[in-house]
Structure 1
Amino acid sequence: MTRIAALVFACFVTIVGGGAPALAAPLRIIYPPAVYRTDSASIFFIGAAPPAGDLRLDGRAVPLNRQGYFAASAPLKPGVNTFYWVYRDKKGTLQSQQQQVTRRVEPPLARDRPVLAVRSPLVDQQVPALAPVCLEAQATPGGRVLAELAGKSLMLSELPPFRPVEDSAAILSGAAGGELVSGIYRGCLAADPAWREQVPRFELRWQGQNLSAQAPAAITTLDPRQIVVVEVVPVEAIVRAGPGAGYARLAPLTQGVRSQVIAQSGDWYRLQGEGWIQKSDLRILPAGTPLPKSAVGSLRTRTSATGSELLIPLETRLPTSVRQEETRLVVSLWGAVAATDLIRFESTDPLIRSVQWEPITPQGMRFYIDLRSSRQWGYQLRYEGNVLVIALRRPPRVSRALAGLTVMLDPGHGGNDTGSTGCSGVQEKTVNLQIALRLRNQLQRAGATVLMTRTGDRTVSLARRVELMRATQPTVYLSLHNNALPDAGDPLRQHGTSVYWYQMQSRNLAEALHRQLIGDLGQPDYGLFWDSLAVIRPTEAPAVLLEFGFMTHPDEYARLLSPAFQERIARSLTRGLTSWLHAAG
């Protein structure tokens, strides 16, 4: 399972000799627990019962497959929902079970009385002078909302009703978009250079009634006479597109990189160039510390045992961002000043065809590294002193089948992290490992060297999995999973095989394996996805995450437990890797 929350199962099972769970009672509801709370407008159920009997949910027949596994879904009304299960075996013996699911619902926005709530700012902000500052509130529709900031009044505009942008859970489950949001008032003004800890106030005027509210945060304009310079503390700091953990991740910054703070929102700093970093990952340098700035003179390329490298000599380490395209890398250096009049190329360079550059605003340079091949095998950025090294990996030297290929297999979850749970109580971590061990054998028979992030039932953190990849430098990285749905999903309708990629160098690998699995397994095509997942974000090698099937679909789950089907998965991936490898351009 990927970003979707792992299923929780709250019933006791007895383990028999083969490791499969045996029925502790004729009817078992694996998910949801007997008492459960959710924000979803619907809920799904999975479980198991002897297949010869009759199972009903609130009087509605629930089919049992050959193994006795079942799945069902039901709408939820706001508040407490009680469900009644009845199972009748062949002898007519009845077993009943009751479940209670509470749907949490935000109360609707009042339209018959004045209400006012501040939406922005909610945390203290520091902004550049003259930068746009937007104030936002939610209030009774049809009114007038005024904001006051540092003695200036601003009439906020009421936005038309809209549905919130769908999150990944809604897209994966096929659930409809959220409820319409109305009563949002927004307005923007330019930051005055004199603002110091100014707290916005809001006032709603509605049908002759007034209501006021004060923001819980202050806004300060950065003093252009005081330059704040920070230095990255951890080995690698997470950079995000906005001030919060919910924003997309950008290229990380490495330890020792210095940059200017150009904005602050709560505990997040925006640095020169692009991206936001948590305050805890930065060290504020003493006043008077010079801005990170470096001339960039002559460049050169060189070849190594692992590939080709572009060397950019600098006077100090600078913030860097990278964008990978199909046939090139685009590297931006913030604080770089162009003094480049010569680039020396290795005449025998097998990977780098050319390097171009241009100045960018704000102060910086952007480098375009054009490659000879449309297939990329990984890259790394590192510093040798103050020389930025952009290292590109060469393709593997392969002969027959997969000889010369090093594959890292990552059986998802493990130990305390169980992943999702299937209809009879088998946990995803177990199925992932079984498939990985079978795949290891198939790959080794085809000549590949196989590395694994775990070979037993133990906890391996996401960070440790990434460390293992970077330390061992495999040719490809495969993270093996099986899927589940969020509460709003319909397990009988949403199921199948899917593959996920993040870096551009991994796209054709994801496409090849997805195509092979769909053709060989006979499963529905659940999709091919770009997704920012921790284990496939590293740039060192092509990396994909595979979801072979759904633990929440009765028939798919039964197949995933089958040794024969696990072998089919292993053979299919081995064929897909072989075809992809030898089709390399």
Structure 2
Amino acid sequence: MRQVLGLALLGAAVVFPAQADQTLRVVYPPNKHETIAEQIFLIGTAPLQGDVSVNGRVISRSPAGHFAPSFPLQLGVNTFTLRYGEQTVTVQVNRTPTAPAPPLGLTFAKGSLTPTTNITRLPGEQICFGAIAPPGAKVSVKIANQTIPLIAQTQTVELPPNAAVLTQTNQPATVSAAGRYQGCTIAAKPGQLGKPQFQLSKNGATARQHGPGNVEILTPAALSVAQVTAEQGVARTGPSTDYSRLTPLPRGTQATVTGSEGDWLRLDYGGWLDKKETRTITGAVPPKSLIRSIRSRQIPGWTEVIFPLQGPVPVKVNQGDGSFTLTLYNTTAQT
């Protein structure tokens, strides 16, 4: 039976088969890989006899011959040449900027207008807009007969990716925000505000462009109710898989939708859920439940606590050393 060694990094499993004819291999990153990270791991393996070098520098390896050194990345294409004996492997990694560069002409940078997708919010919530345009321009956005000036930003703080903890480079960086414009407003009344129209003026010339996302203000008395249809709804702290996970929501859980962003729904307790894991219940009232007649019993290995509810509600679990906290949202105790 062949033996297999697995190396886990950043949630992905990398497997090195133990073969007698094994030569220099790079399993990550693939050639022509693109990233916004400031560092990259080169993960691979080679036979123990001989050295492996990267751009002329010999790297350390594990007793089994595997390696995973990290290297800083410059903006643009970074070339890494790995050598083992007569064998050479070249990997190119393209580090792209986190935001588009300011355009040269009288136009907005491609993909820079925000919101980038349809959004819904409650009355009284702040709605923010952003754009990247030539420095020194006058930029504004018009929506629902309101004109909001977008103010030029001088600096912005960029956070490192989560992988930066592995290289001990997880420090925020203050960078120039030349060409970035931002502004916010508050809509007091429900209704369809439509797509914002961005305008920039410079040197006596003016350009206009509609944003990609539609803005709607919800009616508080007519909010929809979402029911979880997945076995375990993956709730998150924000509207994408980039955000942290919260306690999963069991199938059948109901909650009022207080906002949305693209395919993500914001539920009344603060969690965000992918729309495909839910269904909308027509004519439903905001879900609430009483709690009473709570009881507990000892079972070998744990304590079981039973909370009778009128319906499934969002939950949050926090467990620490010697403590366990369960939060039941949209409930009222009658104990």
- Superposition TM-score, scaled by structure 2 size: 0.78
Cα shift readout 1:290-330 (whole Å, capped 9, x = no counterpart): 32122333433333344323333333332222333444333
Counterpart check, 1:99 vs 2:90? yes
Q: Give the distance between the partners of 2:194 and 2:249, measured in 1 at CA.
A: 32
Quote the residue 1:156 is aligned against: 150
Match of 2:258 in 1: 262
* Shift in alpha-carbon separation, 1:294–1:61, aligned structure 2, 3 A: closer
Q: Equivalents in 2 of 1:115, 1:8: separation in Å?
A: 48
Q: What is the CA–CA distance in structure 2 between the aligned matches of 1:66 and 1:283, rounded to whole Å?
A: 50
In structure 1, the partner of 2:223 is 227
Aligned to 2:276: 280
Aligned with residue 116 of structure 1, among 82, 94, 108:
108
Aligned with 1:314 (options 309, 313, 317) = 309
Partner Cα distance (1:136, 1:324) in 2: 39
Residues 144, 296 of structure 1: alpha-carbon distance in 2 compared, 3 angstrom cutoff: same
Alpha-carbon distance in 1 for matches of 2:278, 2:147: 36
Q: Report Cα offsets for 1:122-146 as digits up to 9, x if no partner.
A: 1111111122111122223343321
Cα gap change, 1:147 to 1:32, in 2 (>3 Å): same
In the alignment, the residues of structure 1 paired with residue 205 and residue 108 of structure 2 have an alpha-carbon distance, to the nearest angstrom, of 12
Q: Which one of the candidate residues 180, 185, 194 is aligned to 2:175? A: 180
CA distance in 2, matches of 1:98, 1:250: 42
Q: Partners of 1:166 and 1:63 in 2: how far apart? A: 25
Whichever residue aligns with residue 108 of structure 2, its letter is: L
Please, which moves more after superposition, 153-162 or 206-215?
A: 206-215
Q: Percent identity?
A: 24
Name the Cα RMSD after superposition. Answer: 3.6
The offset of 1:116, in angstroms, is: 1.9
Q: Cα 1:199–1:336, aligned 2, differ >3 Å: closer, same or farther?
A: same
SS at match of 1:225: helix
Question: Is the Cα contact below 8 Å between 1:57 and 1:86 reproduced in 2?
Answer: no
Stretches of structure 1 that go unaligned for 5 or more consecutive residues are 10-18, 88-94, 341-585
Structure 1 residues 104 and 323 mapped into 2: Cα distance closer, same or farther (>3 Å)? closer
Conserved? CA contact 2:39–2:164, under 8 Å: no
Aligned to 2:3: none
* CA shift for structure 1 position 253: 1.3
Q: Whole-Å Cα distance in 1 between the matches of residues 331 and 197 of structure 2?
A: 42
Match of 1:249 among 239, 245, 249: 245
Aligned-partner residue type, residue 127 of structure 1: R
- Report the counterpart of residue 373 of structure 1 in structure 2: none
Is the 1:51–1:65 contact (alpha carbons within 8 Å) kept by the matching residues of 2? no
Within 5 Å, which residues of 2 pair with 1:315-330?
Answer: 315-330=310-325
1:3 aligns with 2:14: no
Q: Matches of residues 484-503 of structure 1 in structure 2 within 5 Å?
A: none
Structure 2 gaps, min length 5: 1-7
Deviation at 1:152, TM superposition (A): 0.4
Q: TM-score, normalised by structure 1?
A: 0.48
Output aligned runs, 1:18-167, within 5 Å. Answer: 20-23=18-21, 28-31=24-27, 35-39=31-35, 44=42, 46-48=44-46, 51=49, 60=56, 62=58, 69=65, 78-79=76-77, 81=79, 83=81, 85=83, 87=85, 95=86, 97=88, 99-106=90-97, 109-110=101-102, 113-117=105-109, 118-167=112-161
CA drift at 1:75: 6.1
CA separation of 1:41/1:260 partners in 2, compared to 1, >3 Å: closer, same or farther?
closer
Kept in 2: contact 1:237–1:277 (CA 8 A): yes
SS at match of 1:301: strand
Aligned match of 1:294: 289
Q: Structure 1 residues 209 and 4 mapped into 2: Cα distance closer, same or farther (>3 Å)?
A: farther
Whole-angstrom distance in 2 between the partners of 1:239 and 1:66: 39
Partners of 2:253 and 2:162 lie apart in 1 by 33
- 1:222, distance to aligned residue in structure 2 (A): 1.0
Matched, 1:195 2:155: no
Alignment of 1:352-501 (within 5 A): none
Offset at residue 5 of structure 1 (A): 4.5
- Deviation string for 1:261-283 (max 9, x for gaps)? 11111111111212011111112
- How far, CA to CA, are the matches of 1:320 and 1:86 in structure 2? 54
Asked whether the equivalents of residues 127 and 191 of structure 1 are also in contact (C-alpha less than 8 Å), the reply is: no
Q: CA deviation at 1:252?
A: 1.4
Choose from 197, 209, 213 the match for 2:209.
213
Q: Which has the larger radius of gyration?
A: 1
Report the alpha carbon displacement of residue 160 of structure 1 after superposing the two structures with TM: 3.4
Q: Do the aligned partners of 1:33 and 1:99 also contact (CA within 8 Å) in 2? A: no
CA distance in 1, matches of 2:147, 2:236: 33
Normalized per residue, which structure has more strand? Answer: 2
CA contact (8 A) 1:4 1:169 kept: no
